[in-house]
Amino acid sequence: MTLQIGRSGLRLYPEYFGRKAQDAVLAALRGVLAAAPLFTPRMPKSGRPMSVAMSNCGPLGWISDERGYRYEPAHPRTGQPWPAIPDILTALWSDVAQYRDPPEACLINYYGAAAKMGLHQDRDEADFSAPVVSLSLGDSCLFRIGGARRGDPTRSFRLNSGDVLVLGGDARLAFHGVDRIYSNTSTLLAEGGRINLTMRRVSRAPSEIAGVRGASQPAASEAVNR
Ligand code: SIN
Ligand code: FE2
């Protein structure tokens, strides 16, 4: 079942993954996190630590520190390239993204009981025609989403383990955040808390560049950062 939430580009797939599939995603993620451990991102300029812990998989990973928000090809602590995005997640992207190219980044956010995420837009990507595909695992959270302007009215709903949310179209630049975690609402994570995965395109898609400028243009030279 898919729920279209108000605006056309926001789609919720409640419990897209049942428990068995959630266990399979988690097993794949444990492998990713063994190679690319969670780290504490810091706020641009102030360097204040965020309350979530993060890691990534895919060719690019999103990081934040005193120098700002950006995508990087390697883990900030280990210096190693991010592990590949597990097949079960690229399959999810193929199923729901309605976008022909694969995701380039999968951000892994871990929320302990007291963690939250302030209202923000995902806008460090060069191409907003691809959606952001989000998967929630573990404890439920109260998710908030508004419009493309910070002052726009917001609505809130719970995201539960296995739920998939797609922010595309007119919802691609919607402000969103996580107000709170509901502890002990899932038994998926032995340690408790919530994992959120967001898959994104970062650079402009090769297919799109080919379409705009002719196929002979080298896609590899496209800048991945702002
Ligand atoms: C994010 O916006 O990066 C995470 C959203 C969520 O945790 O559901
Ligand atoms: Fe976000």
Q: 86 or 217, which is more confident?
A: 86
* Closest ligand (CA of 56): 1
Tokens representing residue 103 in the block: 């995701």
Question: d(Cα 96, Cα 180) in Å, to the nearest integer?
Answer: 26
Q: Is 198 in the pocket of ligand 1 (CB under 6 A)?
A: yes
8 pLDDT tier (thresholds 50, 70, 90): confident
Rounded to the nearest integer, the mean pLDDT of the chain is: 91
DSSP collapsed to 3 states, 17-81: CCHHHHHHHHHHHHHHHHHCCCECCECCCCCCECCCEEEEECCEEEEEECCEEEEECECCCCCCE
Chain segment 70-116, per-residue pLDDT in tens: 999 999 999 999 999 999 999 999 999 999 999 999 999 999 999 99
Give the Å distance between the CA of 176 and the centre of ligand 2: 6
**For position 127, what pLDDT does the model report?**
85
Residues of the chain with pLDDT > 70, as a percent, come to 88
CB-facing half-sphere around the CA of 182: CA atoms within 13 A: 14
Please name the residue that has the structure tokens 């056309």. 8
pLDDT higher than 60, residue 225: no
Pairing of strands 53-57, 10-13: unpaired
* 81 falls within a domain: yes
> What mean pLDDT do residues 201-219 have?
59
201 in any annotated domain: yes
CATH number of residue 180's parent domain: 2.60.120.590
For residue 186 and ligand 1, the question of a CB distance below 6 A is answered with no
Average pLDDT in the 13-17 region? 98
Confidence of residue 2 (pLDDT cuts 50, 70, 90): confident
Query: Closest-lying ligand to the alpha carbon of 140?
Result: 1
Q: What is the pLDDT of residues 28-55, one digit of tens each?
A: 999 999 999 999 999 999 999 999 999 9
Work out the burial of residue 38: count CB atoms within 10 Å of its CB; fewer than 13 is exposed, 13-18 middle, 19 or more buried: middle
pTM to 2 decimals?
0.90
Ligand 1 atom nearest residue 122's Cα: 2
The answer to the question of residue 226 being in a domain is: no
pLDDT of 178 reads: 98
**Residues 135-160, mean pLDDT to the nearest whole number:** 97
Query: Which of helix, strand or coil describes residue 209?
Result: helix
Domain span including residue 14: 3-221
How far apart (Å, rounded) are the C-alpha atoms in residues 95 and 207?
18
**Residue 208 confidence (pLDDT):** 64
Whether 127 is covered by a domain: the verdict is yes
| Residue 220 pLDDT | 35
CB of 109 within 6 A of ligand 1: the answer is: yes
| Mean pLDDT, residues 111-138 | 96
Which protein residue's CA is at the shortest distance from atom 6 of ligand 1? Answer: 196
Does any ligand 1 atom lie closer than 6 A to the CB of residue 56? no
Say how many domains are in the chain: 1
Helix, strand counts (H, E) of the chain = 3, 13
Answer left, alpha or beta for residue 159, where phi above 0 means left and psi between -120 and 50 means alpha.
beta
Q: How confident is the model at residue 6 (pLDDT cuts 50, 70, 90)?
A: low
Residue 218: pLDDT above 70?
Answer: no
3-state DSSP: the chain helix, strand, coil percent, rounded to 5? Answer: 20, 35, 50
Atom of ligand 1 nearest to the CA of 143: 8
Q: Indicate whether 92 belongs to any domain.
A: yes
pLDDT at 224 over 80: no
